[in-house]
Structure 1
Amino acid sequence: MVSNGIQPTPSSSPIGDVAYLARSEHRVPALVAVTDRPRSRSELCELTGVSSSTIRRTLREFEDRSWIRKEGYRYTTTRLGDAIASGMTDLIGLVETERKLRDVWHWLPDEVSAFPVETWAKLTVTVAEPDSPYCPVNRFESLLTQTSKLRFLRPEVALMEPVLDELFGLIDDGAAVTLVDRPSCHSYFRSTYPERSSEMMSRNNFTVLEHDELPSYGVGLLDDRVIISCYGRDSGSVRAVIDTDVPAIREWAESVYASYESDARPLEPQPLEEPLE
Structure 2
Amino acid sequence: MESSLEEIEFLALSANRVDVLRLLSEDRHTRRELAEATGASQATLGRILGDFDERSWVKRDGSEYVATATGQLVSAGFTDLQEILETERTLRDIVEFLPTESLSFDLRRLSNATITTPSQTRPNAPLQRLLELLEGAEEVRTVSHAFNEQTLSVVRERTRADEQTFEGVFSRSAIEALSEESELRRRLEDLLEADRAGVRITDEEVPLAVMVVDDVVYLLLRDDQGILRASVDVEDELVRSWATETIEEYWTRGEPLEGDSLESE
Give per-residue Cα distances to partners, 1:180-199, cap 9 Å, x unaligned: 251565269865x7986675
Pairing of 1:1-277 with structure 2 (within 5 A): 11-113=1-103, 115=104, 119-123=106-110, 125-129=113-117, 134=125, 137-138=128-129, 141-142=132-133, 145=136, 147-156=138-147, 159-160=149-150, 165=154, 168-173=157-162, 175-178=165-168, 180=170, 182-183=174-175, 185-186=177-178, 191=183, 199-200=190-191, 202-207=193-198, 215-220=206-211, 227-234=218-225, 236-237=227-228, 239-242=230-233, 245-246=237-238, 247=241, 250-259=244-253, 261-262=254-255, 268-269=262-263
Cα 1:146–1:198 shift into 2, 3 Å: closer
- Whole-angstrom CA distance in 2 between matches of 1:263 and 1:213: 14
What is the percent sequence identity of the aligned residues?
23
Q: CA deviation at 1:86?
A: 2.0
- Whole-angstrom CA distance in 2 between matches of 1:37 and 1:107: 42
Which stretches in structure 1 are left out of the alignment for 5+ residues? 1-10, 271-277
**Contact 1:66 1:81 (8 Å CA) reproduced:** yes
Q: CA deviation at 1:239?
A: 1.0
Cα 1:130–1:183 shift into 2, 3 Å: closer
Structure 2 counterpart of 1:262, one-letter code: E
Q: CA deviation at 1:58?
A: 1.7
Give per-residue Cα distances to partners, 1:108-149, cap 9 Å, x unaligned: 335334x36xx3333464322466863675367447755535
Cα 1:218–1:248 shift into 2, 3 Å: closer
Q: CA deviation at 1:32?
A: 0.9
- Whole-angstrom CA distance in 1 between matches of 2:73 and 2:30: 21
Cα 1:203–1:136 shift into 2, 3 Å: closer
Cα 1:213–1:130 shift into 2, 3 Å: same
Cα 1:111–1:264 shift into 2, 3 Å: farther
Give per-residue Cα distances to partners, 1:197-218, cap 9 Å, x unaligned: 6754553544556678853521
**Contact 1:229 1:241 (8 Å CA) reproduced:** yes
CA RMSD of aligned residues (A): 4.1
- Whole-angstrom CA distance in 1 between matches of 2:246 and 2:65: 48
Cα 1:209–1:39 shift into 2, 3 Å: closer
SS class of match (1:106) = helix
**Contact 1:67 1:82 (8 Å CA) reproduced:** yes
**Contact 1:220 1:228 (8 Å CA) reproduced:** yes
Q: CA deviation at 1:42?
A: 3.2
Cα 1:237–1:137 shift into 2, 3 Å: same
Q: For structure 1, which segment, 123-132 or 71-80, has the greater mean C-alpha deviation from structure 2 after superposition? A: 123-132
Q: Look up the match of 1:274.
A: none
> Across the two proteins, how many residue pairs are aligned to each other?
253
SS class of match (1:50) = coil
More contact order relative to length (CA 8 Å, sep ≥ 6): 2
Q: CA deviation at 1:264?
A: 7.3
Q: CA deviation at 1:67?
A: 0.9
Which stretches in structure 2 are left out of the alignment for 5+ residues? none
Cα 1:177–1:220 shift into 2, 3 Å: same
Cα 1:257–1:22 shift into 2, 3 Å: farther
**Contact 1:155 1:179 (8 Å CA) reproduced:** no
Q: Which has the larger radius of gyration?
A: 1
- Whole-angstrom CA distance in 2 between matches of 1:15 and 1:151: 45
Structure 2 counterpart of 1:30, one-letter code: V
Q: For structure 1, which segment, 82-91 or 206-215, has the greater mean C-alpha deviation from structure 2 after superposition? A: 206-215
